[in-house]
Structure 1
Amino acid sequence: MLRWIIFLIIFGILDLYAFQAFKTVTKNGLLYTIYWIITALVIGNFVFHYFGFSRRDGFSHAHAYAFGFFLAILIPKMILLIGMFAEDVFRVPQAAYRYFTEGESAKGNYFASRRQFISKLALGVAAIPFASILYGIYKGKYNYKVLKYTMYFEDLPKAFDGYKLTQISDIHSGSFDNIDKVKYAVNLINEQQSDVILFTGDIVNNKTDELIPYVDVFNKLKAKDGLYSVLGNHDYGDYVTWETEEAKHQNLEHLKTLQKDIGFDLLLNESRYLEKDGERIALIGVENWGVGGFKKAGDLKKASSKINKDDFKILLSHDPSHWEREVIKDDYHYHLTLSGHTHGMQFGIEIPGWFKWSPVKWRYKYWAGIYKEMGQYINVNRGFGYLAFPGRVGIWPEITVIELKKGTSIA
Structure 2
Amino acid sequence: MTLSEQTQQGLSTPADQSTATQTEVVNFYSFTLPDLEAFLKKYGKEKFRAQQIFKWVYEQRVTDFDQMLNLSKDLRSELKNLITFKLPPVLKHLISVDGTQKFLFDVRDGNSIEAVVIPSDDRLTLCVSSEIGCNMACQFCFTGKQKLKRRLTADEIVGQFMVVQDSLDKEGKGRKLSNIVFMGMGEPLDNSDNVFKAIEVIHSPWGVNLSKKKITVSTSGLIPEMYKVAEAKVRLAVSLNGWSDEVRSQVMPINKKYPLKDLLDECRRYYRATGEKITMEYVLLKGVTDQIDHARALVKLLRDVPCKINIIPFNEHPGSGFERPSDETVQAFHQETMKLGAQVLLRRTMGRDIFAACGQLTTKNVERPETMDISNSKIGGTNVRSFSRG
- TM-score, scaled relative to structure 1: 0.30
TM-score normalized by structure 2? 0.31
Larger Cα Rg: Structure 1 or Structure 2? 1
